[in-house]
Amino acid sequence: MLKNEQLKELLKDAATVIGIVIAFLFICYLAFGLWTPMFVVSSGSMEPNMNVGDIVFVKSIDRADVISRRDALISSQVHIKFGNPGDVILYRPYGNENTVPVIHRAMYYVEEGQEMWPGGPAAPHAGYMTQGDNERTNPRLDQNTTISYQTPIKKEWIIGTSVFKVPYIGKIRLLLSPSHF
């Protein structure tokens, strides 16, 4: 059984940890516009620029302008993010809140009715065309696969733009994921 002094120390330690977590969340919100701006890369679709287990920090779409790969290439300003031109965005396919977010590069923007790719179908609405950086596993746009079939990514489906990553630390989180049990 715990003595009063031990109980007091345990409660102080617990309060300190809770205070640190609350302060961290508050700082994250101030810096990134999201209470939880960290996401773990769970597939190899962005290799070699992002690897499975990397933790990526994301800035809220409300605080960021998406610069697509196409716009970065034609701009006079260099805009390289994670090894290639253009922003890497985190989005929910079809805007579905119950799906796992996808982290892929914004390739270019299309308007409603515009061909989504040369010879492709017309866009049902305006949005971004996206694709993973891994040329072996992602040779086509997400909109030409099952990831976001023939559906450009609307701005309101975007959680944010990737700012920086911390390599491999997220592997612990992936090991504890229910899909691994």
Same domain, 28 and 42: no
Q: Are residue 16 and residue 69 in the same domain, yes or no? A: no
On whether the CB atoms of residues 86 and 70 are closer than 8 A, the answer is: yes
> How many domains are contained in the chain?
2
Q: Show the tokens assigned to 69.
A: 């790969």
For position 181, what pLDDT does the model report?
33
165 and 81 together in one domain: yes
Do 154 and 137 fall within a single domain?
yes
Task: Place 173 in a pLDDT band, splitting at 50, 70 and 90.
Answer: confident
Residues contacting 28, CB < 8 A, separation 6+: 34, 35, 36, 37, 38
Domain membership of residue 143 (yes or no) is: yes
- Residues 54 and 93: beta-carbon distance below 8 Å: no
Q: How confident is the model at residue 180 (pLDDT cuts 50, 70, 90)?
A: very low
Q: Facing residues of 122 across strands?
A: 115
> The whole model's pTM is what?
0.86
Establish how many alpha carbons lie within 13 A of residue 102's alpha carbon, considering only the half-sphere containing its beta carbon: 24
Q: Would you say residue 11 lies in a domain?
A: yes
Same domain for 23 and 53, yes or no, is: no
Q: Which of the four pLDDT bands, split at 50, 70 and 90, describes residue 178?
A: low
List C-alpha distances in Å: 12 to 4, 15, 42, 92, 149: 12, 5, 36, 40, 52
Bridge-based pairing state of the strands 84-85 and 88-91: unpaired
* 162 inside domain: yes
Domain CATH number, residue 165? 2.10.109.10
Same domain, 114 and 154: yes
Is 88 found in the same domain as 7?
Answer: no
In a domain, 4, yes or no: yes
- Please give the residue range of the domain that contains residue 16: 1-32
Are 14 and 61 found together in one domain? no
Q: What is the pLDDT of residue 84?
A: 96
Residue 181 within a domain: no
pLDDT of residue 67: 96
Write the CB contacts of 87 (distance below 8 Å, at least 6 apart in sequence): 64, 66, 67, 68, 79, 81, 105, 106, 161, 162
What count of Cα atoms within 13 Å lies in the side-chain half-sphere of residue 63?
12
Phi, psi of 102 (to 5 degrees): -110, 140
One domain, residues 71 and 92: yes
| Residue 28's pLDDT band (cuts 50, 70, 90) | confident
Is residue 125's pLDDT more than 90?
A: yes
94 and 143 inside one domain:
yes
Q: Are residues 106 and 165 in the same domain?
A: yes
Same domain (yes/no): 19, 56: no
